[in-house]
């Protein structure tokens, strides 16, 4: 059941601000899904929470933002793929050793590649930090 709130005492401008907060939250949620499990988001959105056969999986994916149980050391509960070490913030095939070597060869890129406000993608042989 979705939470409810009494907005009857709010001024019109406060309702507009609340609406903007809700819109921002939707975008933040979508961005987070893309960082942690983009394929999981597709699966999650396809589930019907009112269907008894899908409700438990829907709840697990909603609580964990993906197919791995955050409360059980990211154990897989859907499928068989282990969670990528860098989630999807880094390319799934990027090893720590490769990242360290890249940073050693490109020290000017270190801050951007390790920033909590970027995702990292491959562009040929380069690693590119994309701010969000």
Q: Where are the domains of the chain?
A: 11-83, 89-132
Residue 62 sits at φ, ψ, to 5 deg, of: -65, -45
pTM of the model: 0.73
More confident residue, 31 or 97: 97
At which residue do the structure tokens 């009494």 appear? 6
> What does each C-alpha distance from 51 to 41, 46, 54, 75 come to in angstroms?
18, 12, 5, 25
What would the pLDDT profile of 77-118 be if each residue is shown by its tens digit? 999 999 988 888 999 899 999 999 999 999 999 999 999 999
């Amino acid at each position: 059941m979705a939470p409810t709130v009494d907005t009857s005492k709010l001024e019109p401008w406060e309702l507009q601000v609340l609406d903007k907060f809700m819109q921002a939250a939707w975008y933040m949620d979508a961005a987070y899904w893309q960082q942690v499990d983009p394929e999981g988001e597709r699966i999650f959105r396809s589930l019907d929470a009112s269907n008894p056969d899908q409700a438990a999986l829907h709840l697990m994916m909603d609580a964990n933002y993906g197919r791995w149980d955050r409360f059980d050391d990211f154990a897989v509960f859907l499928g068989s793929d282990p969670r990528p070490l860098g989630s999807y913030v880094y390319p799934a095939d990027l090893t720590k050793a490769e990242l360290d070597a890249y940073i050693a060869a490109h020290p000017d890129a270190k801050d951007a590649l390790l920033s909590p406000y970027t995702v990292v993608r491959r562009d040929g042989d380069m690693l590119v930090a994309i701010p969000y």
